[in-house]
Structure 1
């Protein structure tokens, strides 16, 4: 059986949203945990937004797809599979939003391949069947230094 012990990591999540002439970029830095079991790799961390409750995020990376599950201040499970359309509901304080996602590209470099892991996802998301935005998610994580 392969090891599934957690590695403490420092997570940086950069989300870029492009819509017509508008660009939005969000940066999150949080401590997290990285697990690996077979071909599945999991990253967990908790976001502490300026407003609202903390959001627990779990990112599961498998060879065929990536899923992001968020609970707490918001609730959603978004699945990314190259060239496949997926749908989910984003539960937020301000109401529920229907999300349709078409994944253009997933690029993943495991923590095992170097001193830093990296997940890049490029996708189109349509909110409530109305607004389609281009999204880029770049997640980097590196082992906490043992000092």
Structure 2
């Protein structure tokens, strides 16, 4: 069953004591089946290009698949290192992700959820940077 949701993605990246904050809000779709939550949404960038995002949340892993002007298939497995290629207009980057923790909470009464991931990333073998991702989704009432 598909539900329309408002998806808010907050990321914090810490690099040598400097913090960068980013927040996006997009209307998306939520699917739930067999202990799996899937969120789909599109993000329109300043230059009007689109990035499609598909997030799959399972009890033991999270996958973020982005396609468009930027593409990647990032996997989060708690206490494990994963690798993927981050494709960007400025080039392709090898991305190593170490996931420290994943927490997914669902509130059935408000039909909302919150995903929190703490992880570190190394791009092309450079110094690792700390990342915090907080994804919240709330059911939208369709009029």
**TM-score scaled by length of structure 1:** 0.92
Is 1:135 matched up with 2:131? yes
- Give unpaired runs (5+ residues) of structure 1: none
Aligned to 1:10: 6
Aligned to 2:115: 119
Say how many residue pairs are matched.
Answer: 143
Aligned to 2:81: 85
- Give unpaired runs (5+ residues) of structure 2: none
What value does the CA root-mean-square deviation take over the aligned residues? 1.3
- Could you list the per-position Cα deviations for residues 114-147 of structure 1 after superposition, in whole angstroms to 9, with x for gaps in the alignment? 4421000000001100121000000000000244
Asked if the contact 1:54/1:73 (under 8 Å) is kept, the reply is yes
Is 1:102 matched up with 2:111? no
Equivalent-residue separation in structure 1 for 2:63 and 2:57 (angstroms): 7
Aligned to 2:67: 71
Shift of residue 7 of structure 1? 0.3
Asked if the contact 1:52/1:73 (under 8 Å) is kept, the reply is no
